Amino acid sequence: MNMNGINDVYGLGELEAAGSALIEAHERGHDLGEWGPTIGERMRIARCRLCGRLVWTVRPPGEETWRVGGNALNADCERGFRKRPES
């Protein structure tokens, strides 16, 4: 099952969340740089090299799983804009 546009993924480990974020951002034309240092042990941020939008993985307090978010997942990259074939 392929669900486009999800930016709130449940039940992920940290690496899976990061991988999911990379794929999702790539589909929108972003080129993420290195993941930054963990912030407060429950958040990591990566920035698009092209447009500077951010993706993050976050583990909410009291939860075991990581979620994915960021404005790079809600918008296509301005420098690498590609229309999707579907829609």
Name the residue nearer to Zn ion (CB basis): 14 or 76.
Answer: 76
| Contact criterion met (CB below 8 Å) for 32 and 54 | no
Query: Both tokens of residue 60?
Result: 């909410």
Asked if 50 touches Zn ion (CB under 5 A), the answer is: yes
Q: Which of 46, 48, 54, 73 binds Zn ion (CB under 5 A)?
A: 48
30 near Zn ion (CB under 5 A): yes
Q: Is 73 helix (H, G, I), strand (E, B) or coil?
A: helix
User: Closer to Zn ion at the Cβ: 9 or 77?
Assistant: 77
Residue 51's nearest CA partner among 84, 82, 76 is: 76
CB-wise, 52 or 65, nearer to Zn ion? 52
